[in-house]
Structure 1
């Protein structure tokens, strides 16, 4: 019988494939620093899960910080609106009084404290301006700086 080179190469090819398979299987169970490849993968997964958990906690903390900052900002804006409302009401009420000139009286409000500046025709009119300002809801006190200047 005549054997060809192809038939002789088959056992060599089979041997080479077997060695490659054996090396691949050995590599799967190879230890690196005392860990198998499977253990290394498990360790990597655990680290990834921990990093995701840490990132989630950081996001929760950032969200809480943002909520606190938002509440502070809305309180500040609310106070500004309240002060503006108080100023407008005091000015409007002063304008309705025939003895006081709302155009000449400057009304400023800061944290519910109303400051009045400008002229008043009499001491009684100056006192009346204080009473009018105190009668507005939200006014905590009045700093009356009106100057009595008879006309």
Structure 2
């Protein structure tokens, strides 16, 4: 019986360590959040690419916990505003940080 108890305690400790290792903190994403952010980044890039007034090669997109950061250079203030509007319309985006510059 003691061998069963020791094995059970060891299994519980390993399971708890694995679950805690995948949990998110303020500065680290969980695995699920990383996958979600990757999907959001891809969706925002696709939306920008499909907008005829924007050049996707000039706009960089990064996502962390649903917060999208746009950076790069565009030719006018209107294109900056359009890129922010397009990014905000993507499902899963919680906020958009605009670091784009007019060249």
Q: TM-score, normalised by structure 2?
A: 0.79
The count of corresponding residues between Structure 1 and Structure 2 is 99
Secondary structure at 1:147 match in 2: strand
Structure 1: 5+ residue stretches without partners: 1-48
Correspondent of 1:126 among 69, 72, 80 = 80
Determine if contact 2:22/2:31 at 8 Å carries over to the other structure: no
Partner of 1:62: 13
Compare the two structures and name the one with the higher strand fraction: 2
Instruction: Determine helix, strand or coil for the equivalent of 2:30.
Output: helix
Higher helix share: 1
RMSD across aligned positions (CA):
2.4
Deviating beyond 4 angstroms after TM superposition, the runs of 4 or more aligned structure 1 residues are none
TM-score, normalised by the number of residues in structure 1 = 0.56
Q: How far, CA to CA, are the matches of 1:146 and 1:140 in structure 2?
A: 18
Higher-Rg member (1/2): 1
